[in-house]
Chain A
Amino acid sequence: GAGVSQSPSNKVTEKGKDVELRCDPISGHTALYWYRQRLGQGLEFLIYFQGNSAPDKSGLPSDRFSAERTGESVSTLTIQRTQQEDSAVYLCASSLGRGGAVAGELFFGEGSRLTVL
C-alpha cells in the first residue's frame, strides 16, 4: 500500500483479555518497528524487526507482550491478559532498511489506540 496501515484504529477491551494489533508496512520495507505512546508522553520503543527476525526485543515491557512478522510483511503485536497500564497508542513504523541515501527514514502508521477498562 501507499503507507503504513494499522488495525484496529481503536480497541476497547476489558482487563484480562488478550488483544492483537496488526501492522501492514510499506511494500518493500524490510525494517519494521513497534512503539508505544502513553497519553501525554513520548514514544517508547518496543521491538524492531529486520525481515522476519527480531534482533532487538529489549523494549517489550513484560512477557505478556509478543510480536511476530511473517513474509517480511505483516506484523502482529499481541498483548495477553491486558492491564490498565497497557492503555496507550501503539504505533508501527517501517523503513527501507540497509543501503541508500534515505535508508533508515521511518514512516509511521496512524496507530492503534488501546483502552483497557
Chain B
Amino acid sequence: KQEVTQIPAALSVPEGENLVLNCSFTDSAIYNLQWFRQDPGKGLTSLLLIQSSQREQTSGRLNASLDKSSGRSTLYIAASQPGDSATYLCAVRPSSNDYKLSFGAGTTVTVRA
C-alpha cells in the first residue's frame, strides 16, 4: 500500500524567502505525481503534474522535482509572498490503469509580511 508523507506539517517563513516542501512515497512504481494547493475552506487547486518519465516541472515561481528511485518529490516556491500562504498537498497515482490517488497530509505554509 502506497504511503505518502509530507514533512514538515507546518512551515512559517518571512516574505521573500524561498520555500522547500517535501513529499516522500514508499512505492516508487508510480504513474505521476501532482502538487495541489488548498486554501482554508476551499477545494484543491492543481499546481503541477509530473509524469513518471519527467524529472521536473516548472510554472512561474514554482518548480517541482521528482526522484522516483528514492521516492521523493520537492516543491520549490521562489521569493515567497503572503498570498502563498496555504496548505500544499502532493498526491501519487500508481499506474495508468489505476486512478485512485494517494494523498499526503499536507504542509501548511504561512508567509509573514
Contact = CB atoms under 8 A, between A and B. Distances in A.
Contacts, number: 56
Interface stretch (B58-66, B67-75, B103-111): B103-111
A43 B99 contact: no
A109 interface: yes
Contacts of B89: 42-43
Interface of B: 31-32, 34, 36, 41-46, 49, 51, 89, 91, 93, 96, 99-101, 103-106
A14 interface: no
A102 interface: yes
A109 B104 CA distance: 19
Q: In the complex, which range does the number of interface residues on chain A fall in?
A: 20 to 34
B42 A105 contact: no
A2 interface: no
Contacts of B104: 42
